[in-house]
Structure formats: C-alpha cells, structure tokens
Copies of this chain bind each other. A is one copy, B any other.
C-alpha cells in the first residue's frame, strides 16, 4: 500500500481520543458497548495505518445505514454450522467489524486445536480494512487470511461493465524484526478512491487502472468514473484475467460459499435501499502445530524477508525492496507520535456528526511535518 502525502488541509487528532469518541458515537445509535469498541478499534486502525478511505471517514455512511433501518446496530453473529475446522455465522445484518472480529477469534481458537480453521459469514456488512483481521491472527502467532466480497466496481476481462467487487485479500503472519508481514490488497489494480484523488488533483490515469463506459482504456478520471475498474494485471496482454480470477475466487470463498449475495447482485457501496448481505471469510493456520512453537516458523519467515530486502534495486527505485505491510506499519508508528491526520472534508463530516449527537469531537491540532519513512535499516 503506497503512503499518500499529507493532505494540505489536514488536522491531527490523538488516536486514543478518536477511538473513544468513535465508540461513543457508534454507541449513541443503539450499538452495545462491546460491539462499539470493536467498530471503533477497526475504523481507527485504518486511519492509523494510512488507509483513511476505510476508517472514520465512513462513519456518516455507516450511520446512514442504521438510520435507514437497513443495518441492525445491536445484532450479534450466530454460529449456524460448526465443524472442527469450518464454521458459518449468520451475522444477522449487524456491524461487519464486530461479526468479523468474533469470527476471526473463533478461527484462531479452533486452529489451536485443529491446526487450521476456516470461518465464513453471511448476512454481513462492510468490515473496514481486510488486514486488521489477518493481523489479529498474526498477533496470536498464526497465519491469518481475510476475504470479503464487496459492491460491483470491477469489469471482468473482456467485459465493459462492473460485475465484481474490489474483493480484498489480506494475509498476515509474524515476521520477527519485520513485525508482521501483512499483504492487504484489493484484487483490482487500484481502489476507486485513487480515481477520485486523481480527479481532485487534475491528473491523468495510468493505463491498466480503469476502462470507460464503452470498455476502452480510461485515461482521465472523468472517463473512469463513468466506466469500471480493471482487475489486477490490467488488460488481457498483461494478464488481467488473473486479477479477475482472484476477484471471482474471493466472491466464491465468501458470498457463494456462505450463502450471501454475490457478484453483480450486490447492492451499491453504502446503499440504503436494502441490507448489504455481504460475505466474509477468515482462514487461520497455526504454525506451532507443525514445529512445536510459533518461533521456528517466525524465524524462517524473518530470514526470507531479510534476504528479500538485500536485493539490488532497479534504477529509480525510491527505496529498498519492501516487505508487505511495512508502509502501513510506518504510518501506524507516525500516527502514534503525531496523531492521526484527517483531511478537512473528513474532519468537517465528523464534526457534523459530533454536533448532531452532542458528543464533542476531540481536540485537533496542526499536522507536524513528517519525512517519508526510510526502510533502509530494518
């Protein structure tokens, strides 16, 4: 995940204060405290990790789902089928963050005994950053994978309309001095938010990002916003059918397997017309079951990462080879030091929610300038 430069109109807010304010706000719409704590933890994690598109900036959208009556803020997930290494939950149309935290913890617990476990959910809602759930397994010394289907934004190879979501895949594992390896990727080349950023900045697009409404490569944000995103790999000559295949596999392992709504039948992102009925899936493997302890695996993964970062670099490379998740971890360290940076529009939206709920927004300050992180010494 590339690190974006600071917004020019940004303000800084302490992550612990943002978290407790978010929990209070989420609680004010009928969410029990423990569920609200999960939602706040996971939304603020996105802000801290430099992925603001999936964090507290979405609070107005989530609250609109609750006030439209298409999401139940108090629902708790119920396990419907339980085998030694496979469980399905009905998330009962509650907060996706909470249902998926529960599902991940269940998978971790089952993997301790069975060695691996897979937990799927139906009737769920958006769950924020895929990586959070994978990282929870990594923090328990395990390998975690997190998948979700999402609203259609991506055109399959050869199509000119969106049929699949940006269906993320996240995989994490403990990696010694590298912290956790954490690959957290949409299966499209870029997220839709990147097109919106290009539109605001007046930039042209790179070929392979999107198509226009006629199915031709979109080279301006305006054309792309009327078209569709391309799957990872871009066009057919650069193997975009692999990204399309990955997006389809994510839909299959989540919604199709769990019995949620899939593919082009999923309603628009944060649409209030009906419940989202998304599917998610969490897979956990316990390396300690193979080696007697988690350390052996972790040392081997650390050694591989240590090899990779020594690779001689290509001309123009801004830094050494990175391990997946290093940029997000650097953003997290920076946010702990100087606060979470939110842009002006994001801040104004949260202040409006704060005023409406009579829950004063935490104090904000100016953004302390930060150098780009250097990874040379990891």
A residues contacting B by CB (< 8 A) are 2, 81, 83-88, 111, 113-118, 120, 143, 155-161, 163-164, 171, 173, 181, 183, 185, 189-190, 206, 208-209, 211, 214-216, 232-234, 236-239, 241-246, 248-249, 251-253, 256-259, 262-265, 283, 285-287, 289-291, 296-297, 300-301, 304, 307-308, 311-315, 317-324
Q: How far is the CB of A176 from chain B (nearest CB, A)?
A: 12
5 shortest interchain CB distances as A-B pairs: A86-B115, A215-B314, A83-B115, A85-B85, A159-B311
A297 CB contact (under 8 Å) in B113, B206, B256, B291 = B256
Listed by A's residue number, 28 A-B pairs whose Cβ atoms lie within 8 Å are A81-B290, A85-B115, A86-B290, A115-B118, A116-B283, A157-B321, A158-B311, A159-B308, A159-B312, A159-B313, A161-B312, A163-B307, A181-B252, A183-B242, A185-B242, A189-B239, A190-B239, A208-B238, A209-B238, A215-B312, A216-B315, A232-B242, A233-B234, A248-B304, A251-B304, A256-B304, A263-B307, A263-B308
Q: How far is the CB of A94 from chain B (nearest CB, A)?
A: 20
With contacts A84-B84, A265-B307 known, is A211 near B241, CB below 8 A? no
With contacts A85-B85, A290-B88, A304-B252 known, is A160 near B208, CB below 8 A? no
**In the bound complex, do residue A289 and residue B115 qualify as a contact, i.e. CB atoms below 8 Å apart?**
no
**In the bound complex, do residue B321 and residue A291 qualify as a contact, i.e. CB atoms below 8 Å apart?**
no
* Alpha-carbon separation in the docked complex, A116 to B159 (Å): 34
Q: Within 8 Å CB of A308, what residues of B? A: 156, 159, 163-164, 248, 263-264
**In the bound complex, do residue A84 and residue B311 qualify as a contact, i.e. CB atoms below 8 Å apart?**
no
> DSSP majority for the A interface?
mixed
Q: How many copies does the complex hold?
A: 2
Q: Within 8 Å CB of A262, what residues of B? A: 300, 304
Q: Within 8 Å CB of A252, what residues of B? A: 143, 171, 173, 181, 301, 304
Q: Within 8 Å CB of A285, what residues of B? A: 86, 118, 253, 257
Please name the residue on chain B nearest to A156 by beta carbon: B321
Q: Within 8 Å CB of A2, what residues of B? A: 236
Q: Within 8 Å CB of A87, what residues of B? A: 115
**In the bound complex, do residue A290 and residue B243 qualify as a contact, i.e. CB atoms below 8 Å apart?**
no
A290 CB contact (under 8 Å) in B249, B257, B311 = B257
**In the bound complex, do residue A300 and residue B256 qualify as a contact, i.e. CB atoms below 8 Å apart?**
yes
Please name the residue on chain B nearest to A112 by beta carbon: B83
**In the bound complex, do residue A238 and residue B206 qualify as a contact, i.e. CB atoms below 8 Å apart?**
yes
